[in-house]
A and B are shown apart, each in its own frame.
Chain A
Amino acid sequence: EVQLVESGGGLVQPGGSLRLSCAASGFTFSSYWMHWVRQAPGKGLVWVSRINSDGSSTSYADSVKGRFTISRDNAKNTLYLQMNSLRAEDTAVYYCPLLYGAFDIWGQGTMVTVSS
């Protein structure tokens, strides 16, 4: 069964850091680009970042560029999002979907709350 499980969310103070993880199983993780998508409470979906299959190319939404870093460990079948200089507006559920061709797989998300 294809599965994505996000973890690492929690409560962090403004200016703090957090690293999210996304454990993949049931497919050849190293073959696919991966993404992070977030959704603030009561708001719409926002694409955050993507990484290519070998980790050599990344892209970021303007709202997180310079603060967030996406990476992956294909040996561990795990995707990461390092989030620094966190702001209140980064409060959201973070998803790591596999969106490629016929694949449309989402995990349950992990909640990040930035508050003092």
Chain B
Amino acid sequence: DIQMTQSPSSLSASVGDRVTITCRASQGIRNDLGWYQQKPGKAPKRLIYAASSLQSGVPSRFSGSGSGTEFTLTISSLQPEDFATYYCLQHNSYLWTFGQGTKVEIK
């Protein structure tokens, strides 16, 4: 099974900060990775698909990069509505796996 190691597990940041979250796959997954945002009590919402493609309707301050085993989600200028938990999801194998999540909190 492919394991996804996401870091950090949490971070504190201020409005306007640049934020970077990383996911590492236990084996190569090409670009078969998405990034999700989840707010309390709500279903997840995809931000990025195919590692670097922006989901329709998602602000351009979100971006994704990487291929193979190392992937990054970047928020270029954190906004108040971005405080949430973020997950990566690999779909390269028959068994999909989420990262453990990164909670982005207000500093």
The smallest beta-carbon distance between A32 and chain B, in angstroms, is: 13
Check B95 against A107 for contact (C-beta < 8 Å): no
Residue A26 interfacial (CB < 8 Å):
no
Question: In the complex, which of the residues A46, A59, A60, A101 contacts B98, with contact meaning CB atoms closer than 8 Å?
Answer: A46
Residue B67 interfacial (CB < 8 Å):
no
Check B36 against A102 for contact (C-beta < 8 Å): no
Give residues 93-107 of B contacting A (CB, 8 Å): 94-101
Give residues 1-23 of B contacting A (CB, 8 Å): 1
Most chain B CB atoms below 10 A, which of A50, A95, A101, A106: A106
B77-107 CB mask vs A (1 if < 8 Å, else 0) is: 0000000010101010011111111000000
**Interfacial chain A residues near B55, Cβ < 8 Å:** 102, 104
Residue A62 interfacial (CB < 8 Å):
yes
Chain B residue with the shortest CB-CB distance to A50: B96
What total of chain B residues lie within 8 Å of the partner, measured CB to CB? 23
**Interfacial chain A residues near B95, Cβ < 8 Å:** 47, 59-62
Check B98 against A44 for contact (C-beta < 8 Å): yes
The smallest beta-carbon distance between A42 and chain B, in angstroms, is: 10
A77-106 CB mask vs B (1 if < 8 Å, else 0) is: 000000000000000000101010110101
Check B87 against A44 for contact (C-beta < 8 Å): yes
Q: How far is the CA of A3 from the CA of B98 in the complex (A)?
A: 23
**Interfacial chain B residues near A106, Cβ < 8 Å:** 43-45
Cβ-closest 10 pairs across A and B: A106-B43, A104-B46, A44-B101, A47-B96, A59-B94, A45-B98, A45-B87, A44-B100, A59-B95, A47-B98
- Which residues of A come within 8 Å of B, CB atoms? 35, 37, 44-47, 50, 59-62, 95, 97, 99, 101-102, 104, 106-109
- Which residues of B come within 8 Å of A, CB atoms? 1, 34, 36, 38, 43-46, 49, 55-56, 85, 87, 89, 91, 94-101
Report 15 cross-chain contacts, Cβ distance below 8 Å, ordered by A residue. Answer: A44-B87, A44-B99, A45-B36, A47-B89, A50-B94, A62-B95, A95-B44, A99-B46, A99-B89, A101-B49, A102-B49, A102-B55, A102-B56, A104-B49, A108-B43
